[in-house]
Amino acid sequence: MTASTLERPTKALPDQVTLRRRALGLTAYDPARSAGGYTLFAGQTAAGRVDLVDIEGNTAHTWQMPVRAGRDAVILPNGNLGYNGSHKTSAALYPAWDLWHGGDFYEATPSGEIVWRHEDIFHHHDGQWLANGNLLYTVAAPLPADKAARVTGGDPRKDGADGIIQSDIVREVNRKGETVWEWRIWDHLDPADFPVHAIFDRRHWPMINGLSLTKTGLILMSLRTTSGVIAVDRATGRVVWHVGPDVVAQQHTPMEMEDGSILVFDNGNVRQGSTSPFSRALEFTPEGKVTWSYADPMPPSFFSPYMGSCQRLWNGNTLICESAFGRLFEVTPEGETVWEYVIPDFAEYPAPLNQFTQGQHNSCFRAHRYKAEQVTWL
């Protein structure tokens, strides 16, 4: 070996994170057609940091919260941050539970002062901060044995040794942490009528992954493991309508629009009649008629197999969060992209989550857009 060979510098390897080799931060912006404003997101691997970016992709504000994001963060009407954190000692219900539990809720001022906290170690997925100051969220609870025996579909080979199947209770608590309303899904739906998709185990039926209120007081609930959205009359507990897997596929974040239609992030896993999964923003009536949708012109290039959100903006555009790939983008009613931002920060999920979701991630559960007058403290 010659001296010149010994002195030759080692060539650096290209970045091995595929997404990080692509364009990050602000990648598209049409000032004339974008709604403008500020976009909020809480990175799933950001160790508790919440970011607010302006329309040019610059960081306008950050919060450092005490725990990593369980799912989501929002700006409340009083200007404070509502934060759905991941409880450090959450219930251990089944192997994948840590992927989607939250259970450590905080309200923080713009300066980061914690002014309210609520803990519930059985909480998972979504939480809605209500106008009256209360908090609406979903908790896991064991299905009664007679109901569990009626769960169909899924993969019974993955059933837990204890035979327990978790189900869902929707709970509302006041500022004192007192439960003021509760709804158990198994009192109103028969598991035999809502089979679990074959790709899932049967440890959790039907896994409510999204909640919201309509202007008439119905509670919209998104059913992940069975694909569907239901509307529940808060006063009677009755399921008023159900849109199922013939319309949606593993969807998230149902929200009512001004005309009464429902907007969801339709993930697209196991979509009926499709062998190539892709995601879309989907709007439909309570009767199940699709009235609007957005998919990428090359559909497979827009796909998040888990998480995801859509928000109808004040100018008629739609903000979409392609969660798994940290891509936040705004489209017009005609489906033209007028703003795009790709979260530039990557990290691994903490243990034991990294056993299920491996590698470096820039994901977030949802993103929210706000007008300048909603963040006057900036």
The alpha-carbon radius of gyration of the chain (Å, integer) is: 21
pLDDT at 161 over 90: no
pLDDT at 1 over 80: no
pLDDT tens track for 55-108: 999 999 999 999 999 999 999 999 999 999 999 999 999 988 998 999 999 999
Q: Is residue 67 part of a domain?
A: yes
Question: What CA–CA distance (Å, rounded) separates 47 from 71?
Answer: 12
CATH of the domain at 35: 2.120.10.30
- Terminal Cα-to-Cα distance of the chain (whole angstroms): 62
Question: What CA–CA distance (Å, rounded) separates 312 from 258?
Answer: 10
Question: Which pLDDT belongs to residue 138?
Answer: 98
Q: Is residue 62 part of a domain?
A: yes
Q: How many residues does the chain have?
A: 378
Q: Are 164 and 141 in contact (CB under 8 A)?
A: no
Q: Is residue 6 part of a domain?
A: no
The better pLDDT of the pair 212, 96 is held by 212
**What are the backbone angles phi and psi of residue 7, rounded to the nearest 5°?**
-90, -10
Q: Is residue 7 part of a domain?
A: no
Domain around 50: 17-374
Quick check: helix, strand or coil at residue 148?
helix
What token pair was written down for 345? 């920060």
Q: Is residue 3 part of a domain?
A: no
pLDDT at 274 over 80: yes
Q: Is residue 81 part of a domain?
A: yes
Confidence of residue 8 (pLDDT cuts 50, 70, 90): low
Q: Is residue 2 part of a domain?
A: no
Q: Are 356 and 39 in contact (CB under 8 A)?
A: no
What token pair was written down for 160? 């837990």
Other C-beta atoms lying within 10 Å of the C-beta of residue 7: 7
Nearest one of 158, 249, 168 to 203, comparing CA atoms: 158
pLDDT tens track for 328-358: 999 999 999 999 999 999 999 998 888 888 9
The answer to whether the bond into 352 is cis (omega within 30° of 0) is yes
Q: Is residue 73 part of a domain?
A: yes
Q: Are 189 and 206 in contact (CB under 8 A)?
A: yes
Tokens 């607010």 belong to 52
Query: Residues 352, 171, 321, CA angle at the centre, nearest 5°?
Result: 55
Question: Which pLDDT belongs to residue 6?
Answer: 54
Work out how many domains the chain is built from and give that number.
1
pTM, 2 dp = 0.95
Sign of CA dihedral 302, 282, 224, 309: positive
Long-range contacts of residues 140-146, Cβ cutoff 8 Å, at least 24 apart = 140/91, 140/93, 140/97, 140/166, 140/167, 140/168, 140/169, 140/204, 141/166, 141/167, 141/168, 141/169, 141/184, 142/166, 142/167, 143/167, 143/186, 143/191, 143/205, 144/186
